C-alpha cells in the first residue's frame, strides 16, 4: 500500500547518547509493520549498530562474519572487488536485510544495517557525499510507507545524510540534565542545515520523553521534575511539540532489544506512544 | 415395500424376546440410553484418542501429517525439528512475537507446542526464498549473547581494517556456532 506522495522518512536523533534512539527506532519500525501494516524500512546510521543488532538478533553475527553489504557499501557507492571478481555497482536491494513480512500482504520490515567500520567513513580523508543516502532511497524505495533512520548522537556527515533523506525529525529525550544539553546542539544543527539547503522542509515532528529514569519510589523526585521543566522550556523555545505519551520506565526494553521476549513489563505500553506518533504524522 | 416390511418383521422378531424378558418400559429406557451414547461417540469433540494416544503432537508429527509437496515438507521438517529441540522459537513468548510480526493473531499461547500449527500456517504462506532465508538465519532462536557478537566484531574488524584474508565468507562464524550452544539467560 504505497503512499502516493512517497514514503514518510523520519530520522530519530538527539545530539546526546543514551536517550533511547535505537530502542525507539526499533520498536517504532516493528510496530509500524505489525500493528499498522506499513511497508517499512529501517536504516541504521550509527556505527555502534545497536538498531541492527536489535532487529537482526543473533543473525547480526552471521551478517558480520559473512561480510554481507551494509550502509557502508551504500555510502561508498559500489560493492568492493573480491578475489573472484571486480567491484560491482549497487543493486536496488544491496545492503537490505529482510526482518519480517506480514502474511498475505506486500508489507515488510526491511533493514539497512550498519557496521562498526562505518565510523571509518568519518575519519577517512575522502569525505562521503551526504546526499548519497537520499538518492539511494529515492531511487529504490518509492513504494515504502515509512522509512526510519536511527542517527548517531554526534554531528557528522552522517547527520547531514539523514537530514537530506528525511522530512521529519523525532527527538527522544530523557528527563535528566545532560539529556537536554543535546537540544541546543540539535536546534543549531537543523538551522545550519536548512540555511545551507533551502529546498529542504525538514521539521521536528515532536519530542518524546523517554521516562527511563530510575524511579526510586518517587517517580524520579525533584531532579526529574526540574529536567521535565527544562525540556518543556527548550522545546517551546524551538517550537517543537512534545508528545503527550511518555515512554514508561521498564526493564522490558533492554530484554526486548536483546531478543528476549519472555518479559515486557511496562514496555508493553509502547504502542500507546506509537499510535500517537503515527496519528500525528498522518500514517 | 416388501423388503421394508421384511426388515421390520426381523426387528419385531428380535424385540419380542426382549420385551418378554424385561418388559416394555425397561427396554425403552435402555434403548434411549444406548441411542444417547451412540450419538455422543459420533460427535467430533469425542473423537479424541484416549490413554497413551492422548498427547500433544510434536511439531515434526504435525508437519508429517501436513499435505504439502515433498521439497517443502523437507524444509518444514527442519523447522519442526528445530522447534521440537527448542532452537527455533524457544519460548512461548518467541512464538507470540514471531506470529505478531507476521500479522498473525497469536491469541493466547499457553503451550508453545500447541501454537506450532499457527507457526506452520505462517511458514506455509512464505515464498521459497523467504523460507530459505529464515532457515539460514539465526533469527528467532532466542536472546542474543554479547560474547559471540564481540567475537564477530573483533574478527571482522581485523579482516576489514588490516586486509588479512578471511576464511570462506560463506562459512558461518565460529561465534555464531557457539552462540547456539551458549546458556540462555533467564
Reported as a single tens digit per residue, the pLDDT across B97-109 is 999 999 888 888 7
To the nearest whole Å, the CA of B95 is away from the closest chain A CA by 9
Backbone angles phi, psi at B115, to 5 degrees: -80, -5
Q: Is the pLDDT reported for residue A231 higher than 50? A: yes
pLDDT computed for residue B140 by the predictor: 74
Rounded to whole angstroms, how far apart are CA atoms B118 and B102? 11
Work out the pLDDT band at A173, boundaries 50, 70, 90: very high
Q: Which of B104 and A146 is assigned the larger pLDDT?
A: A146
Average pLDDT, chain A: 89
What is the arithmetic mean of pLDDT over A114-121? 75
Q: Is the pLDDT reported for residue B169 higher than 50? A: no
Q: Which of B124 and A179 is assigned the larger pLDDT?
A: B124
Q: Is the pLDDT reported for residue A144 higher than 80? A: yes
Rounded to whole angstroms, how far apart are CA atoms A224 and B110? 40
Work out the pLDDT band at A193, boundaries 50, 70, 90: very high
- The beta strand positions in chain A, using DSSP E, are 8-12, 40-45, 78-79, 88-89, 97-101, 108-112, 146-151, 168-173, 203-209
Of A45-59, A74-88, B104-118, B131-145, highest mean pLDDT: A45-59
Contact residues, chain B, for A34 at CB < 8 Å: 100-101, 103
To the nearest whole Å, the CA of B152 is away from the closest chain A CA by 6
CA-CA distances (angstroms) from residue A277 to A102, A113, A146, A170, A197?
21, 24, 12, 9, 27
**Could you tell me whether strands A40-45 and A146-151 are parallel, antiparallel, or unpaired per DSSP bridges?**
parallel
Rounded to whole angstroms, how far apart are CA atoms A262 and B118? 19
Rounded to whole angstroms, how far apart are CA atoms A4 and B31? 71
Say yes or no: A106 contacts chain B, CB-CB below 8 A: no
Backbone angles phi, psi at A8, to 5 degrees: -85, 125
Q: Is the pLDDT reported for residue B33 higher than 50? A: yes
What is the arithmetic mean of pLDDT over B73-88? 92
> Are residues A101 and B102 in contact, defined by beta-carbon separation less than 8 angstroms?
yes
In terms of phi and psi (left: phi > 0; alpha: psi -120 to 50; beta: otherwise), the region of A18 is left
CA geometry: angle at B131 spanning A28 and B64, to 5°?
A: 125
Q: Is the pLDDT reported for residue B43 higher than 70? A: no
Contact residues, chain B, for A28 at CB < 8 Å: none
**Could you tell me whether strands A108-112 and A97-101 are parallel, antiparallel, or unpaired per DSSP bridges?**
antiparallel
Q: Which residue of B has its CA nearest to A68?
A: B169
Of A260, A264, A268, A238, give the one whose Cα is nearest residue A251.
A264
Q: Is the pLDDT reported for residue A61 higher than 60? A: yes
pLDDT computed for residue A22 by the predictor: 95
Backbone angles phi, psi at B65, to 5 degrees: -85, -5
Name the percent of chain A lying above pLDDT 70: 95
Q: How many CA atoms lie within 13 Å of A62's alpha carbon, on the beta-carbon side? A: 21
pLDDT computed for residue A124 by the predictor: 62
Contact residues for B149 (Cβ-Cβ < 8 A; gap 6+): A53, A60, A61, B175
What is the arithmetic mean of pLDDT over A227-244? 92
> Are residues B120 and B66 in contact, defined by beta-carbon separation less than 8 angstroms?
yes
End-to-end CA distance of chain B: 76
pLDDT computed for residue A180 by the predictor: 77
Contact B139 A56 (CB under 8 A): yes
> Are residues A40 and A109 in contact, defined by beta-carbon separation less than 8 angstroms?
yes
To the nearest whole Å, the CA of A122 is away from the closest chain B CA by 14
pLDDT computed for residue B41 by the predictor: 63
Rounded to whole angstroms, how far apart are CA atoms A153 and B115? 41
Contact residues, chain A, for B172 at CB < 8 Å: 62, 65-66
CA geometry: angle at B37 spanning B36 and B39, to 5°?
A: 65
Q: How many CA atoms lie within 13 Å of B149's alpha carbon, on the beta-carbon side? A: 19
Q: Which of A178 and A1 is assigned the larger pLDDT?
A: A178
Work out the pLDDT band at B75, boundaries 50, 70, 90: very high
b/e sequence A244-261, b meaning 16+ C-beta within 10 Å:
ebbbbbbebbebbbbbbb
Lowest mean pLDDT among A62-76, A203-217, A227-241, B163-177: B163-177
Handedness of CA A29, A45, A74, A63 (dihedral sign): negative
Burial (0-12, 13-18, 19+ Cβ within 10 Å), A91: exposed
Rounded to whole angstroms, how far apart are CA atoms B172 and A234? 49
Amino acid at each position: 500500500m504505497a503512499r502516493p506522495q512517497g514514503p514518510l522518512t523520519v530520522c530519530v536523533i538527539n545530539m546526546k547518547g543514551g536517550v533511547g534512539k535505537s530502542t525507539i527506532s526499533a520498536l517504532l519500525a516493528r510496530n509500524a509493520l505489525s500493528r499498522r501494516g506499513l511497508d517499512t524500512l529501517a536504516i541504521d546510521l550509527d556505527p555502534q549498530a545497536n538498531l541492527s543488532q536489535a532487529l537482526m538478533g543473533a543473525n547480526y553475527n552471521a551478517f558480520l562474519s559473512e561480510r554481507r553489504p551494509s550502509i557502508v557499501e551504500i555510502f561508498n557507492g559500489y560493492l568492493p572487488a573480491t578475489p573472484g571478481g571486480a567491484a560491482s555497482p549497487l543493486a536496488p536491494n544491496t545492503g537490505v536485510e529482510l526482518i519480517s513480512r506480514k502474511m498475505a500482504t506486500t508489507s515488510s520490515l526491511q533493514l539497512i544495517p550498519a557496521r562498526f567500520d562505518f565510523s571509518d567513513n568519518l575519519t577517512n580523508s575522502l569525505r562521503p557525499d551526504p546526499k548519497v543516502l537520499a538518492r539511494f532511497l529515492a531511487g529504490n524505495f518509492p513504494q515504502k510507507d515509512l522509512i526510519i533512520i536511527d542517527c548517531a548522537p554526534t554531528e557528522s556527515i552522517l547527520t547531514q545524510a539523514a537530514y537530506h533523506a528525511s522530512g521529519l525529525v523525532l527527538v527522544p529525550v530523557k528527563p535528566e540534565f545532560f539529556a537536554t544539553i543535546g537540544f541546543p546542539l540539535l536546534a543549531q544543527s537543523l538551522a545550519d542545515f536548512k540555511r545551507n539547503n533551502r529546498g529542504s522542509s525538514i521539521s521536528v515532528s515532536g519530542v518524546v520523553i523517554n521516562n527511563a529514569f530510575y524511579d526510586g519510589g518517587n517517580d524520579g523526585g525533584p531532579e526529574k521534575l526540574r529536567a521535565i521543566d527544562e525540556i518543556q522550556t527548550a522545546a517551546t523555545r524551538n517550537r517543537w511539540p512534545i508528545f503527550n505519551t511518555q515512554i514508561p520506565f521498564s526493564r522490558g526494553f533492554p530484554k526486548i532489544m536483546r531478543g528476549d521476549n519472555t518479559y515486557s513489563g511496562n514496555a508493553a505500553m509502547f504502542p500507546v506512544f506509537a499510535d500517537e506518533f503515527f496519528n500525528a504524522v498522518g500514517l | 415395500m416388501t423388503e421394508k416390511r421384511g426388515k421390520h418383521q426381523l426387528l419385531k422378531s428380535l424385540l419380542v424376546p426382549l420385551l418378554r424378558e424385561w418388559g416394555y418400559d425397561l427396554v425403552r429406557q435402555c434403548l434411549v440410553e444406548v441411542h444417547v451414547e451412540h450419538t455422543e461417540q459420533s460427535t467430533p469433540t469425542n473423537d479424541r484418542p484416549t490413554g497413551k494416544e492422548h498427547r500433544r503432537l510434536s511439531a515434526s508429527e504435525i508437519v508429517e501429517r501436513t499435505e504439502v509437496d515433498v521439497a517443502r515438507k523437507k524444509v518444514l521438517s527442519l523447522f519442526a525439528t528445530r522447534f521440537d529441540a527448542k532452537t527455533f522459537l524457544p519460548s512461548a513468548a518467541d512464538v507470540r512475537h514471531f506470529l505478531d510480526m507476521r500479522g498473525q493473531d497469536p491469541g493466547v499461547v499457553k503451550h508453545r507446542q500447541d501454537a506450532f500449527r499457527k507457526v506452520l500456517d505462517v511458514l506455509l504462506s512464505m515464498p521459497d526464498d523467504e523460507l530459505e532465508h529464515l532457515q539460514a538465519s539465526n533469527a528467532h532462536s532466542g536472546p542474543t549473547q554479547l560474547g559471540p557478537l564481540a567475537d564477530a566484531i573483533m574478527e571482522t574488524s581485523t579482516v576489514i581494517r588490516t586486509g588479512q584474508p578471511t576464511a570462506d565468507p560463506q562459512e558461518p562464524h565460529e561465534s555464531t556456532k557457539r552462540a547456539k550452544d551458549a546458556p540462555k539467560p533467564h
